[in-house]
């Protein structure tokens, strides 16, 4: 089976001397070369395991966000706060009908600048803001927000006091928006409308469509947003929207009109930019092969991919790729955060790290190289 990964052509800010595309943008194209394994030491200088304690039984887990003294994770019951050692500290807010509660939690953003936890509540379309210590701050009613015929926004981000709401397509329906931006008072100040092409129902494209769009956590005071059906990967800043990268042309691209997908088509489930790297995770559009992981080293101008990511800095085992990776800065360092279940760790590691083999999940804190 032919496996596609990415060949990155450098653009101006990466200081490349080779000829540039006419757009001047980095273009992502496929090649077929996978390493048998990539050691984490190529991108990181340390790996730390943090098990979330058993004081709170996790109902879902997503989007860890680090601060200097603690971190947050989101669950199906709302955001939770933990110490840097994984000790449960408190739940932020709660589900209810009160003015200081969220009616039905949908998505959460951690505003590291103003030190707020921002919860988007449905169906009333409000943002409920809390301090890092869980103190209720205010409720922001979104003015002129569209109805949720196509579903609510699936990600909220906060950047420079503005709320950014990013949408996921509804299978088989035309999609009205990529994103909506409001000011701090909930007034709409910008939108990006989608192409509005329906996806055929009851086809294998439905699952691929689910991963067709994503918003990248804030990096360098900007956000990124991609849609696999659009040629452009967008960068959003306080000054506006620009084109950041381009998807190359070829048979690996998905098309909304496609009824049957094949193993040569790619579905990206992660795309993240950091100071020194671009990170990707993808699977073929049939979802039958294992996930692949790749990165582009901006300094070395090298791109590699693999189906096995080896932790050669701590556990000496392969890091599971089936779970998501989240980018989060902490202080002046950057982390990619994965996860592993305790039963996947050798007995030696369980004892050395004091991990409960029947306890909650273990966060894999991958500290990226700074130089």
The number of folded domains in the chain is 1
Nearest CA-CA partner of 293 in 51, 39, 28: 39
Nearest CA-CA partner of 92 in 116, 69, 112, 111: 116
Q: Are 116 and 107 in contact (CB under 8 A)?
A: no
At residue 212, the pLDDT reads 56
Q: Are 163 and 182 in contact (CB under 8 A)?
A: yes
Q: What DSSP state is assigned to residue 321?
A: S
Size of the chain, expressed as the number of residues it contains: 371
10 Å Cβ neighbour count for 85? 9
Coil, helix or strand at residue 285: coil
**CATH number for position 312:** 2.120.10.30
Range of the domain at 234: 5-368
Q: How far apart are CA 141 and CA 157, in angstroms?
A: 16
- What's this model's pTM, rounded to 2 decimal places? 0.86
Q: How far apart are CA 206 and CA 258, in angstroms?
A: 10
Token reading at 104 = 């039905």
At residue 172, the pLDDT reads 44
10-residue mean pLDDT series, the chain (371 residues): 36 34 67 82 96 86 90 90 96 88 84 93 91 96 80 87 81 66 93 63 51 70 85 89 86 75 82 90 84 86 87 95 90 93 95 95 96 80
Q: Are 269 and 324 in contact (CB under 8 A)?
A: yes
Q: Are 127 and 134 in contact (CB under 8 A)?
A: no
Nearest CA-CA partner of 268 in 318, 225, 311: 225
Q: Is 370 exposed, middle or buried (0-12, 13-18, 19+ CB in 10 A)?
A: exposed
């Amino acid at each position: 089976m032919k496996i596609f990964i990415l060949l990155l052509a450098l653009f101006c800010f990466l200081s490349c001397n080779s000829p540039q595309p006419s757009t001047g943008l980095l273009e992502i194209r496929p090649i077929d070369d996978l390493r048998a394994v990539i050691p984490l030491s190529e991108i990181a200088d340390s790996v730390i395991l943090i098990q979330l304690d058993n004081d709170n039984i996790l109902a879902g887990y997503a989007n860890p966000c680090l601060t200097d003294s603690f971190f947050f994770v989101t669950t199906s019951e709302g955001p939770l706060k933990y110490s840097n050692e994984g000790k449960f500290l408190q739940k932020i807010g709660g589900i209810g009908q009160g003015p200081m509660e969220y009616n039905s939690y949908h998505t959460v953003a951690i505003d590291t600048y103003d030190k707020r936890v921002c919860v988007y509540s449905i169906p009333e379309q409000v943002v409920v803001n809390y301090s890092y210590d869980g103190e209720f701050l205010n409720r922001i009613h979104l003015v002129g927000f569209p109805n949720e015929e196509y579903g609510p926004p699936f990600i909220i981000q906060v950047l420079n006091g503005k709320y950014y709401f990013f949408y996921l397509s509804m299978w088989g329906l035309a999609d009205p928006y990529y994103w909506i931006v409001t000011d701090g008072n909930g007034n709409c100040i910008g939108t990006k409308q989608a192409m509005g092409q329906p996806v055929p129902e009851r086809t294998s494209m439905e699952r691929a469509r689910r991963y067709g769009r994503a918003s990248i956590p804030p990096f360098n005071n900007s956000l990124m947003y991609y849609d696999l059906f659009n040629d452009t990967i967008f960068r959003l800043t306080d000054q506006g929207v620009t084109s950041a990268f381009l998807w190359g042309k070829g048979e690996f691209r998905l098309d909304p009109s496609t009824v049957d997908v094949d193993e040569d088509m790619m579905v990206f489930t992660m795309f993240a930019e950091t100071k020194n790297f671009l990170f990707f995770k993808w699977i073929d559009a049939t979802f039958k092969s294992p996930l692949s992981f790749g990165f582009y080293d901006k300094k070395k101008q090298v791109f590699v991919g693999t189906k096995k990511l080896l932790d050669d800095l701590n556990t000496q085992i392969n890091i599971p790729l089936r779970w998501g990776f989240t980018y989060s800065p902490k202080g002046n360092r950057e982390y990619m955060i994965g996860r592993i279940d305790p039963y996947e760790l050798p007995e030696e590691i369980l004892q050395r790290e004091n991990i409960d083999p029947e306890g909650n999940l273990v966060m894999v804190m991958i500290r990226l190289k700074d130089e």
